[in-house]
Structure 1
Amino acid sequence: MDNGFTPVAEHSVAPDFSKWTPRSKLGGGPPTAQRITEVNLKEKFTCIIIGILAPFAAMIPFMAKHMEKTDRWDHWKKLVGKARYSTLKNVARMLRKLISLCPNILPPTENLVRDLLGKMNDQKKSPTVIMNYWQVLVWISKKIGTYDPDSALDLVNETNSIQDSVGNVLTMAEKGAKSLTMYAAKALEAVACLEPLQPVRCAAATFLFDNASSGRLNKLQHAPPISFVTSDKTLDLMANLDKNRSVPLIAARHCFTGKPWCSPAEVWLRDKTYSEPCRLEDYLLPACTCRCTPRLPADTLRKPHCSEIVH
């Protein structure tokens, strides 16, 4: 007797993950759960992209084919093909920026793309930004059927010329960090030796070590005190930038004022080395509490730490 129900086994098909790789950014978990999350994210960003383009569907070839269909949105969403959610997320973000920069850019035409290049040239957009906008226009041309700027060699040459000219301007600009002045170095040496509060003395000595070793704050942030080594002429630390890459930080024992700024750093680092809880710390510069009395483990890149020395 036909009761209207079809056995589930006839239509159940196991998901095929042979061509899909789990993403670590999806929160972990089994591949099936990650796959469901990625499908939902793909649906979200696909709807955003189609929603941006829908008002111009009649002028976009691949979308115009389905204008009269009741299920046109289903057909439009399939136009993105096998693109993963991360790609769709980036396209949606760049489309919004593109409309903000050039509101009448959709649907793209040769003249509109040329106007867009002129605006980016006037605003001195970086070569990377120019290429990002260009790639979005190329992407929607291949997926949705809009004008393809890659098909016009004059536009391609114009884009390359703008990128080259803007790139030269940016590379000639002075972006190097300013060296520590002699006055600032002497002031830090005085603070490192004479300041009654130990956290402030250690912070000043750390900044002097940073200057002497030509290190950056992000390297100090990843330099564990347990890696500290001292000699007659230098203070050495090892900055662990990642699991496979370390950078040595070597500072010479030189004083401009004759005050031994290295002493508070040595005492502090040795104390931390002998302390079992401190041996687990993976940063160098400590933070102070609101009363500037005990030390608290925290990042080195927060404003209160630097303001103590600056002011």
Structure 2
Amino acid sequence: MPELPETMDAIDPAGPGGPEVLELVRRPVPEPGNDQVLIKVAAAGVNRPDVLQRRGLYPPPPGASTIPGLEVAGGIVDLGNGAAYEMIGQAVCTLVPGGGYAEYVVASAETLLPVPRGLTRVEAAALPETLFTVWTNLFERAFGREGESVLVHGGTSGIGTMAISLGQLFGLNVIVTCGSDEKCRRAEALGAAHAINYRSQDFVDEVRKLTDGRGVDIVLDMVGGDYLPRNLDCLAEEGRHVSIAAQRGPNVEINLVKVMGKRLTLTGSFLRPRSAAFKAMVADELANMVWPFVADGRLRPVIDSTFPLAEAAEAHRRMEAGEHVGKIVLEVR
């Protein structure tokens, strides 16, 4: 095994605040535990939960690193007990409960996905968080199947662009909302069946028109708040509503008569606090059902921009400005 340094560069703010708290510091290189590996990070994805954690609104789960970063790509350089020796040197990408904004990170050996030829480390780092999230919520919780229609808010976000891509691969008709005409055109160019400018159009009326009054089978929602009752108006009978975030607030009032009358299902989930065993199960499903599309080049993340690790603050400013299309990634050199 390669000789490892004792310390590493990392982004580990002392307290909550604006992007300016994201400065490089030195931290000990973590040691892998049982059934874990140590990854030398080449790139780390930037996600909305990282922003919330920086603001002090989304603390790491118990036992997780205080260093932000939920997805990485890189090479395995050390092993804990139970991890197979032949894994040393393998290029992988994976979810982590924290610690991604650093030169090294510990990950569960069972959640790793191989980086196939032709997939860059930046692209690999941009896949796990959105892929795990969309797969578990759109296909497992909402039971999305070929021929169904889906409304996805935030159509040009990392989640939105992944939902469009998976929808194309699995035969879903994906309608998205975006905040500008330009973003609507980008979403349609990426494969969305329709894109609605929520600033100039009423998305409930537009969904009704686009579905001849029937409504969509599924709503994948990261907005919450006052969007939820409007989302229910968009659903067809037997429709399924899946919440994955609550950017406009967690509290909402809904009309239960609509839920009962259309026999709707309301569900949702968090990914980060789920167990390593659950994430390993999802990784296995993705390896069988989705990773062949990655290996043959048919599934690639949409990359908006990249920043050096030392410029994590600029990456967060880019995300908070809301102008990005696809994923923002930190490169670790």
Q: Shorter-normalised TM-score: what interval?
A: under 0.3
Larger radius of gyration: 1
What TM-score do you get using the length of structure 2 for normalisation? 0.20
If each structure's strand is expressed as a fraction of its own residues, which one has the higher value?
Answer: 2
What TM-score do you get using the length of structure 1 for normalisation? 0.21
Larger relative contact order (C-alpha < 8 A, sep ≥ 6)? Answer: 2
